[in-house]
A and B are shown apart, each in its own frame.
Chain A
Amino acid sequence: MADGRAKRIELRVSNHKAYVWDLEDLALLRAQHHICGVLAGTLPHLSQQNIFLGLPLVLMPEEVVFLVQKEIAVLVDDPLAHQPPSTAQLEAWNRDRKAGVKAQIAASEAKEAVGIKAAKSTSEDAIRKRKEREQKRAAAARAKALAEGSQDLFAPPVETLVATDALASTDQPAIPSASLNSSNVAWMVTVPASSSAELEWYSSEGVTYATIEDAQAAGVWLYPSTSFERAKCAVFRDLWEKGHYMGGGIRFGADFLVYPGDPLRYHSHFAASVIESPIASLKPMEIVAHGRLGTATKKAHLLCGWDQAKQEVSYYSIEWAGFG
């Protein structure tokens, strides 16, 4: 069955949000389809910060609707795509997991052994130096005692020497056996980022939706459900067709930020607000608020009106006049 669907990007939907978990898809979406999304995952090696985030990529609902309608992507019901594994698959996974744990424990113990050896050699030097110091001190004390004619000779610290010698020659503590029940070695469990690539029992077969309507009917996807949401989808699509890249507008009090090219290279020129219909009420105060904010941030505010009857978008750019 040679249909384009085989090549469509799988957007994994969980709780009515669409995620991209596969790096190649993320690159394709950005480079070829001008859809950027937002990275939302923490970095395992840098988890206590949120300046740099990683997979998954979260898409705006307008981006999802656009991609599915353009037949670039399909929606996958992610929880259901994680099918129950067969007994054989589960046994294999468990074997791999245990082997991985054993390998981790062995590696960390080998590392510990090297560490102990290094520590031991330093203490050998320290013991020798301590011996020499004590001998010198003892000799000096005896000489002093003889000079003063004292009966109480300072006993040479032979016992201490013997003690330190004894310490130096004791065996290392026995290396604990590599059993999974050892509680003094920590090991990590790996959770794969891409279930589709790494879990044998993941399958999008039968839980993939190629249209928004199908996904909505199945209860997997909800957007758009109001006329305002439909207007936002239409404006997003129109701006995309004109060659713009869009980002979330919340930082600038708008519905979208509109960039002339990839956001990594450009600042946005516009903050866009969507007006539901040509006759929707627009208060002058909104114009003041949008206009002033845009001008203060070196952007213009774009009012994007969707005309459902004519199926077209009309644009007005607002700027503070600079006088008055």
Chain B
Amino acid sequence: MESHPSYALLSELTTKYPRTAGSLLQTYNDLKLAQQWEDLEVFEVPSCSRGAFKGQRPNTTAVLYVIPCSLSESLSLSWFRDAFEDMGKPPHIYLAINAEDSNIVYYKLSPGIVKPPV
């Protein structure tokens, strides 16, 4: 992991939160290189013991927030509540669910009863 080009940017958080280091690095690489997000920044979410990202999808201006987790973790609704609080109460957060084979699926979480787009 240490030899990966992305490691340097994330080393502070991977050292502080080793349990989520894997999903943090995977998600960063996916967003940066595969999804080609722009203005990608990493920041700390202390209540969830991990780092998270914010950035923009290519050719858009909306700032989106992504929090990584592993498929093998156990979350809860209070975890969501804490994540929304710590991340500055954005309208929605994307949960990046990392599998062991490096597959990532993103799900959009919105607080409240939000109708799906038509």
Contact = CB atoms under 8 A, between A and B. Distances in A.
Nearest to A284: B97
A283 B75 contact: yes
Nearest to B110: A317
Nearest to A242: B113
A314 B95 contact: no
Given A284-B71, A284-B97, A321 B80 contact: no
Interface string B75-107: 111111100000000000011110000001111
Contacts of A9: none
A302 B107 contact: no
A270 B114 CA distance: 9
Contact of B109 (A269, A298, A316): A316
B35 A282 contact: no
A275 interface: yes
A32 B2 CA distance: 65
B76 A279 contact: yes
A137 B4 CA distance: 112
A318 interface: yes
Given A317-B113, A319-B108, A320-B108, A282 B81 contact: no
A280 B104 CA distance: 24
A302 B57 CA distance: 25
A58 to B, nearest CB: 27
Interface stretch (A49-57, A102-110, A212-220, A286-294): A286-294
A279 B69 CA distance: 17
Contacts of B105: 288, 320-321, 324
Contacts of A324: 30, 35, 96, 104-106
B57 A323 contact: yes
A246 interface: no
A161 to B, nearest CB: 84
A295 B116 CA distance: 8
A321 B104 CA distance: 11
Contacts of B30: 324
Nearest to A294: B116
Interface string A302-324: 11010000000011111111111
Interface in A203-232: none
B59 interface: no
Contacts of B110: 316-317, 319
B111 interface: yes
A281 interface: yes
A295 to B, nearest CB: 8
Interface in B39-83: 57, 69-71, 73-81
Contact of B78 (A269, A278, A283, A295): A278
Contacts of A281: 74-76
Contacts of B35: 323-324
Nearest to B37: A323
Given A303-B77, A314-B81, A284 B69 contact: yes
17 contacts: A275-B77, A283-B74, A284-B70, A287-B95, A294-B116, A300-B115, A300-B116, A305-B77, A314-B111, A316-B109, A316-B112, A317-B111, A317-B113, A317-B114, A319-B110, A321-B106, A323-B106
Given A282-B74, A288-B105, 11 more contacts: A278-B77, A284-B69, A284-B70, A287-B107, A315-B112, A316-B109, A319-B107, A319-B108, A321-B94, A321-B107, A321-B108
Interface of A: 242, 258, 269-270, 275, 278-285, 287-288, 291, 294-295, 298-300, 302-303, 305, 314-324
